């Protein structure tokens, strides 16, 4: 059986394993299932990065025509990922720190870390540096929705908060809070 | 965090700026909301017109007009806020420029304090004195030598110079022609007695007139 890669209408290149029917089924053998889970998490993260998406819900497996449709479904071989299987894949990703339940205390929706929090922190810091916003007080809204689109446009505030808190630990950022909101100030590393 | 020395303190000024920016963000968000409502109302009016409810379409459009006027007002407010924010940021830069100038001035002053004219004069005087002193020592040393010593020194100098010259060009021994053993007879008239001279002169001497 010849498996081939497939380019989706949005331009994402699906790997050849996506055309293999067993890939969509939960495997009874734990070793096989581990490989399937690894391939799935790789696929999910790269698709999320490609589409700049951050959340994955179990119900995404049930909505035809949703934004995850291209990956969770393969009409050419008439297969789709069942919600139960997706839930177990999500649990696997959470245990590997590739995703985290967001909001916490539920298992239906996750935030995908296709960039690890410290990588986001680096991206954030680079952005502040390259746009000359060191030592300037910025609001979170201003970072998420800047006048000039950046790599950070539209990231969830949870991601931003994690990144900022990592930067505050290395004293590269400082959180300023007032009565009706919070702001952040980025500090140059060699500053006083 | 507050106890960290590497993190600057949050001043009241910082808070004020943040407050201002938060206000600005709120206005922006409000504008977004109104824009969404405007778009929606336009759709509604269109549908009502299509369904034949002209009155309702007019009233919807009136509402929409009102929202639009609010949007314009918020635009003006947003502009005010943004101007204020950028003015504050610019002023902060001006303050830091002032601070830089002040520090530079202070440093310059300090350097000048160390470099005052009196010190320079004193230093130059001292240098001159030291030079004079050195010259005196030289003289004194020269005077302590006796005449013989001085001669020996001069001889040594000459020898050194000679050596240097010798090193410069290879000395070839100067060969002088042998001293004539006979008395020169040039005073005698040559034309008168050529033979006598021929016999008397050395072979060397003989050749000279022939060559001439």
In this predicted complex, what is the ipTM? 0.70
Name the more confident of B4 and A137. A137
Same domain, A10 and A105: yes
pLDDT tens per residue across span B34-46: 999 889 988 988 8
The predicted structure's pLDDT at residue A7: 83
Same domain, A124 and A33: no
Nearest to A57 by CA among A115, A116, A101: A101
pLDDT tens per residue across span A92-143: 999 998 998 888 888 888 999 999 988 999 999 988 888 888 888 888 888 8
Same domain, A31 and A124: no
pLDDT tens per residue across span A47-77: 999 988 899 988 888 877 778 888 888 888 8
B84 touches chain A (CB under 8 A): no
Please check whether residue A86 is in contact with residue A61, taking contact to mean a CB–CB distance below 8 angstroms.
Answer: yes
Residue A40 CA neighbour count, 13 Å, CB half? 30
Residue of A nearest to B89 (CA): A136
* Mean pLDDT (chain A, rounded): 86
% pLDDT > 70, chain A: 97
pLDDT tens per residue across span A153-163: 888 888 998 89
Number of CB pairs, chain A paired with chain B, less than 8 A apart? 50
The predicted structure's pLDDT at residue B105: 95
Q: Report yes or no on A192 lying in a domain.
A: no
H/E run at residue A112 = strand A109-112
Record: contact A139-B25, CB cut-off 8 A:
yes
The residue range of the domain holding A46 is 6-112
Region at A113 (left for phi over 0; alpha for psi -120 to 50; beta for the rest): beta
* Mean pLDDT (chain B, rounded): 81
Same domain, A29 and A86: yes
- Structural domains of chain A, count: 2
Provide the chain B residues 150-209 that lie in CB contact (below 8 A) with chain A: none
Partner residue opposite A174 with nearest CB, options B7, B15, B22: B7
The residue range of the domain holding B57 is 12-114
B111: its two tokens: 């350097």
pLDDT at A35 over 70: yes
pLDDT tens per residue across span A10-21: 888 888 888 888
What's the CA gap between A93 and A101, in Å, rounded?
10
* pLDDT, average across residues B132-142: 87
Question: Tokens 């949703």 appear where?
Answer: A66
Q: How confident is the model at residue B124 (pLDDT cuts 50, 70, 90)?
A: very high
- Structural domains of chain B, count: 2
């Amino acid at each position: 059986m010849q498996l081939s890669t497939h380019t989706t209408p949005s331009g994402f290149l699906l790997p050849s394993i996506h055309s293999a029917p067993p890939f969509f089924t939960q495997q009874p053998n734990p070793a096989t299932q581990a490989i399937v889970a690894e391939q799935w998490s790789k696929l999910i993260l790269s698709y999320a990065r490609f589409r700049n998406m951050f959340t994955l819900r179990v119900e995404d497996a049930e909505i035809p025509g949703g934004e995850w449709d291209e990956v969770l479904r393969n009409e050419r071989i008439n297969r789709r990922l069942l919600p139960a299987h997706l839930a177990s894949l999500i649990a696997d990703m959470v245990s590997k720190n590739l995703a985290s339940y967001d909001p916490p205390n539920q298992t239906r929706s996750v935030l995908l870390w296709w960039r690890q929090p410290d990588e986001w922190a680096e991206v954030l810091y680079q952005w502040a540096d390259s746009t000359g916003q060191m030592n300037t007080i910025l609001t979170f809204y201003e970072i998420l929705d800047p006048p000039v689109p950046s790599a950070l446009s539209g990231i969830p505030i949870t991601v931003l908060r994690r990144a900022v808190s990592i930067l505050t630990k290395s004293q590269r950022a400082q959180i300023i809070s007032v009565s009706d909101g919070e702001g952040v100030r980025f500090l140059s590393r060699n500053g006083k | 965090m507050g106890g960290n020395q590497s993190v600057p303190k949050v001043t009241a000024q910082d808070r004020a700026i943040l407050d201002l920016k938060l206000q600005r963000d709120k206005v922006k968000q409000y504008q977004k909301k109104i824009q969404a409502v405007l778009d929606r109302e336009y759709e509604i009016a269109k549908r009502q017109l299509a369904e034949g409810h002209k009155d309702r379409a007019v009233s919807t459009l009136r509402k929409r007009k009102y929202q639009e006027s609010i949007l314009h007002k918020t635009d003006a407010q947003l502009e005010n806020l943004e101007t204020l924010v950028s003015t504050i940021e610019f002023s902060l830069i001006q303050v830091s420029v002032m601070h830089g100038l002040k520090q530079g001035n202070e440093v310059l002053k300090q350097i000048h304090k160390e470099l005052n004219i009196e010190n320079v004069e004193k230093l130059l005087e001292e240098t001159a004195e030291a030079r004079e002193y050195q010259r005196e020592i030289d003289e004194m040393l020269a005077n302590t030598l006796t005449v013989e010593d001085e001669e020996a020194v001069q001889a040594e100098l000459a020898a050194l110079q000679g050596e240097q010259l010798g090193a410069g060009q290879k000395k070839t021994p100067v060969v002088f022609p042998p001293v004539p053993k006979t008395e020169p007879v040039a005073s005698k008239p040559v034309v008168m007695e050529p033979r006598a001279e021929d016999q008397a002169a050395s072979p060397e001497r003989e050749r000279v007139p022939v060559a001439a």
